Each structure stands twice: as structure tokens, then as C-alpha cells.
């Protein structure tokens, strides 16, 4: 697993961070360094989920600094994100007004509000909307979505309901902010009861600034322990803390962070956020944790996630005296247990004998419909890591206050 950046990669990420910092603080746009590889730069900003804010900002440079082909590409990114943002905003507000119509208490979280924290909402792209709701109102929720042309996709465990309106609206309705098997659950299961009503709506609510900030940290820390957290999550933390710091009840916030064992994590990610984005500098020297963030893309690396899952599986089977190896895990990931499949294929509850059929459905969907899997890469990720990789990741977790990968389940 890659753990280091080359000198040129450090230079490229430094430039990306400096451009984003100039957008965050409305300061002078940094000049591209000599010999800059624009293809690498654009590839990395896409990978990290920073395309919109980067494109809008760097296009403010004089034409002489950017080749025509690159400028054309950036203009395309800018226009696409602006159009998408306009449509998403229209659709989500229509949905929330429909919730008002059916008296459905709801509390949007994460992306819905984070877009409002950025200098412009189109600077912060999102892939879905997350909304907290009371499961007792599920029938009304289904009616509201159907009225607006959404399709129900699936229920995720006991917590989430997924709805889609093609081509771009994807909404996750959450019974609670976290799953009931997570260590955070006892402290966050009742957050809807603590929300406050939003102006301009009858049944739409919001978390307090402190509770929303804590939830952003919970979400980010979960990603770190699953596959890694990305640079955009750090940027979210920067904007949210910067914009709401004056409102925070620090005594309450500090107590919540202590209760959830997030003090070290919050201190570290906030330190990085303000180091990177509060001002522009020339070139950064990135430590191990910062490097992991930069290599984690938007939501984490598949290689890291697979390593963590494989390690946890091997540790579990070892503790049970089964002594399974990587090959056993490879087989289990190709043909998962019913308990792992039932969320996506609920018919297994009543017809467990259809488990082999569900495996066929899963792989057909991944290979021919979603086309989001590489068998070669999957095999490599599952078999090609060593104890040094595990120790490297564990050391980073310990640095931010987490004992092991197993904190979340």
C-alpha cells in the first residue's frame, strides 16, 4: 500500500491546496510552478472531489498561465458543476416543501448544509443528500417521494432508506445518524429530538452548530477507520469551524468530544485544516497522517479498505480458533455470508436457499451494470499487503486517539 509521496507529488498537492486556500480566503491566486503537469493536477483534484472549487479559482489567472486545452477543460468543469448545483438545489427544496405538505419532520445533514458553508454552493459537489427522519412517518415519506417521481431503491440494515430520481438526485433517509452497531450509537441515536426548527419551513429542522460539527467528525473518523478520509473532509471541517466558531458553546462541545473519544482526532484534523487552508504558502512537507489524507481521494482508498477488512477478518477467525488465511477471506468476499447480503437482497430473510443466486446478482450488477470493479485490482488488494502496512495504519489511528480498526463495530 502506498504510504509516501514523491517530491513532485508533494509539489502538486501543495499547489492544489494553495489554490483552494486562495478561494477559501479570497486571496491572490497562486501562480503555477515551472513545469507543472496540468493533467496530473486535474486528475488529482477530480480524485479528491475538489474539481469545482479548483476550476473556478484557477480560471481567474491570466490566460498566459494556462494552456488553451486545459482552460477549456476547466471551463467545462465549472459549467457542469454550476448547472448540477442549480438543479440539485431546486430538487432538494422541492422535496423539503413536500415534506412540509405531508407534515414529515426532517433534518438534513452533511452535504445540504456544507454546500452553504463554502463561498459558493457549486464549489462543494455532493453525490447524495442525507436526511434524518422519524421512521414512524415512513408511509408518508414513501408517498412524498412517489409524488415527486422518485423510486425506492433499498433499505440499508435497520437505519437507511435509499431513494433515487434519475439522473442525479439520490437521497438517503436516516432513522439515526449512525448504525446501531457503531460505538457512537448510544450517544447519537436521539439527535432528531434535539434539533431546532429552520426558518422558512414548517417541518424541517437542523442540528445545533455543535452537534452538526460533532457529527462531521464522527462521519470523518468512521471513514478513516474504514478506508481513509479525504482532503475534502478536511476542507469541510475548515469551513464549518471557521464559520461557526463564534456560535459554539465550547463547554458543551468539549464535553461531547470527550464523551465520544474524539478530542485527539478533532484537534489533529482541525490543526491540519487551518494549516492547509487558512493561508497560502509555498510548499508543504506532509507527515504520515497528512499523506494518508492526500492519498485517500474523496472518501478513502479501496486498497486501504480491503486491507482493513482482510485484517479484521483474519483477526476474528484467529480469535475463534479457525486459523483462516487471506485465501479464505478472498473466498468469503466473493461469496459473502447471508448476514452480509441480506441488506441488499432482503428476500434472503425468507428464502436463504437463494444465497447463491444473490451472489450471481451481486457480481452481474458490479461487472456489467455499475462496472465499478476490477477483478485484477480486487485480487491484488486482498492478497498484496503486509504487516508493515497494517502497523503503519494502526500507528496513524493511535495518533488520533483510536486503538484499532475495530472501534466502529
pLDDT in tens, 82-99: 999 999 999 999 999 999
Domain with 349, as residue range(s), is 302-408
State how beta strands 196-197 and 151-156 pair: unpaired
SS3 for 15-52 is HHHHHHHHHHHCCCCCCCCCCCCHHHHHHHHHHCCCHH
Residues 153 and 268 in one domain: yes
Write the pLDDT tens digit of every residue in 269-308.
999 999 999 976 667 889 999 999 999 988 777 667 666 7
Q: How far is CA 53 from the centre of its chain?
A: 17
Which among 115, 117, 141 has a CA at the least distance from the CA of 129?
Answer: 115
Say whether both 316 and 274 belong to one domain: no
CATH code for position 157: 3.30.460.40
b/e string for 177-213 if b means 16 or more Cβ within 10 A? bbbeebebeebbeebbeebeeeeeeebbbbbbbbbbb
My answer on whether 172 and 107 are in the same domain is: yes
Task: Check pLDDT > 70 for residue 383.
Answer: no
Which residues, including other chains, have CB under 8 Å from residue 183's CB and lie 6 or more apart? Answer: 407, 408
Q: Which of 277-281, 337-341, 377-381, 397-401 is most confident?
A: 397-401
164 domain residue, yes or no: yes
Which of 295, 310, 332 terminates a domain? The answer is 295
Please tell me whether residues 230 and 325 are part of one structural domain: no
Q: Do 249 and 355 share a domain, yes or no?
A: no
Position 71 in a domain: no
Q: Are residues 281 and 404 in the same domain?
A: no
Residues 6+ away with beta carbon under 8 Å from 357: none
* Residue 231 pLDDT grade (very low, low, confident, very high; cuts 50, 70, 90): very high
Pairing mode of beta strands 196-197, 205-206: antiparallel
Q: What is the pTM of this model?
A: 0.85
Q: Report residue 330's pLDDT band, with 50, 70 and 90 as the boundaries.
A: low
What's residue 341's pLDDT? 74
Residue 315 shares a structural domain with residue 182: no
φ, ψ for residue 12, nearest 5 deg: -65, -45
- Cite the DSSP H helix spans in 59-174: 68-101, 111-117, 138-147
Residue 252 lies in a domain: yes
Same domain assignment for residues 291 and 306: no
Q: Helix (H, G, I), strand (E, B), or coil: what is residue 109?
A: strand
**Bigger pLDDT: 356 vs 13:** 13
How many other CB atoms are there within 10 angstroms of residue 57's CB atom? 23
Residue 50 lies in a domain: no
On whether the CB atoms of residues 126 and 229 are closer than 8 A, the answer is no
What are the phi and psi torsion angles at 302 (to 5°)? -60, -40
Tell whether 344 is covered by a domain: yes
CA dihedral 175, 179, 180, 181 (to 10 degrees): 170
Which residue intervals of 136-230 are DSSP H helices? 138-147, 185-188, 209-226
My answer on whether 377 and 400 are in the same domain is: yes
Say what the pLDDT of residue 263 is.
97
Q: Is residue 57 one of the residues assigned to a domain? A: no
Same domain, 158 and 276: yes
Last residue of a domain, one of 295, 314, 346: 295
125 within some domain? yes
Alpha carbon dihedral 81, 133, 405, 365, in 10-degree steps, equals -60
**Shortest CA distance to 222 belongs to which of 267, 262, 264, 174?**
262
Per residue in 160-203, pLDDT (tens digit) is: 999 999 999 999 999 999 988 888 989 998 999 999 999 999 99
- Number of structural domains the chain divides into: 2
pLDDT at 316 over 90: no
Q: Any idea which of 119-128, 229-238, 362-371 has the lowest mean pLDDT?
A: 362-371
Q: Is 406 helix (H, G, I), strand (E, B) or coil?
A: helix
Query: Of 295, 313, 345, which residue sits at a domain end?
Result: 295
Note whether 289 and 367 are same-domain residues.
Answer: no
Cα 172 to Cα 162: distance, rounded to the nearest angstrom: 5
Regarding whether 371 and 232 lie in a shared domain, the answer is: no
Given a cut of 70, whether residue 370 has pLDDT beyond it is no
CA distance 291 to 7: 12
In a domain? residue 11: no
Geometric angle at alpha carbon 394, from 40 and 111, rounded to 5°: 55
Amino acid at each position: 500500500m502506498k504510504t509516501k509521496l514523491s517530491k513532485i507529488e508533494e509539489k502538486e498537492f501543495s499547489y492544489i491546496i494553495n489554490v483552494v486556500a486562495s478561494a477559501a480566503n479570497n486571496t491572490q491566486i497562486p501562480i503555477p510552478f515551472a513545469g507543472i503537469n496540468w493533467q496530473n493536477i486535474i486528475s488529482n483534484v477530480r480524485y479528491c472531489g475538489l474539481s469545482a472549487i479548483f476550476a473556478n479559482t484557477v480560471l481567474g489567472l491570466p490566460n498566459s498561465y494556462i494552456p488553451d486545452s486545459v482552460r477549456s477543460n476547466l471551463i467545462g468543469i465549472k459549467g457542469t458543476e454550476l448547472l448540477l448545483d442549480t438543479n440539485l438545489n431546486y430538487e432538494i427544496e422541492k422535496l423539503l416543501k413536500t415534506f412540509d405538505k405531508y407534515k414529515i419532520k426532517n433534518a438534513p445533514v452533511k452535504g445540504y448544509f456544507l454546500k452553504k458553508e463554502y463561498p459558493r454552493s457549486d464549489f462543494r459537489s455532493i453525490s447524495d443528500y442525507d436526511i434524518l427522519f422519524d421512521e414512524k412517518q415512513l408511509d408518508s415519506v414513501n408517498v412524498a417521494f412517489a409524488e415527486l417521481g422518485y423510486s425506492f431503491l433499498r433499505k440499508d440494515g435497520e437505519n437507511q432508506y435509499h431513494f433515487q430520481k434519475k439522473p442525479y438526485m439520490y437521497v438517503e433517509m436516516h432513522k439515526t445518524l449512525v448504525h446501531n452497531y457503531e460505538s457512537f450509537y448510544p450517544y447519537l441515536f436521539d439527535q432528531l429530538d434535539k434539533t431546532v426548527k429552520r426558518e422558512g419551513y414548517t417541518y424541517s429542522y437542523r442540528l445545533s452548530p455543535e452537534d452538526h460539527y460533532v457529527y462531521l467528525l464522527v462521519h470523518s473518523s468512521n471513514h478513516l477507520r474504514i478506508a481513509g478520509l479525504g482532503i475534502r473532509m478536511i476542507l469541510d471541517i475548515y469551513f464549518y469551524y471557521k464559520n461557526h466558531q463564534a456560535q459554539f458553546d465550547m463547554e458543551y462541545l468539549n464535553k461531547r468530544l470527550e464523551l465520544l473519544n474524539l478530542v485527539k482526532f478533532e484537534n489533529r484534523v482541525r490543526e491540519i485544516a487551518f494549516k492547509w487552508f487558512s493561508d497560502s504558502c509555498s510548499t508543504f512537507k506532509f507527515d504520515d497522517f497528512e499523506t494518508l489524507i492526500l492519498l485517500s481521494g474523496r472518501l478513502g482508498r479501496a486498497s486501504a479498505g480491503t486491507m482493513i477488512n482482510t485484517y479484521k477478518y483474519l483477526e476474528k477467525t484467529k480469535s475463534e480458533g479457525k486459523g483462516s488465511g487471506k485465501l479464505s477471506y478472498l473466498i468469503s468476499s466473493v461469496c459473502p455470508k447471508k448476514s452480509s447480503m441480506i441488506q441488499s437482497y432482503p428476500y434472503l430473510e425468507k428464502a436463504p436457499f437463494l444465497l447463491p443466486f444473490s451472489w450471481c446478482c451481486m457480481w452481474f450488477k458490479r461487472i456489467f451494470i455499475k462496472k465499478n470493479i476490477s477483478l485484477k485490482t480486487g485480487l491484488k488488494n486482498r492478497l498484496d499487503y503486509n504487516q508493515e502496512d497494517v502497523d503503519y495504519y494502526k500507528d496513524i489511528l493511535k495518533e488520533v486517539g483510536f486503538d484499532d480498526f475495530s472501534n466502529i463495530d
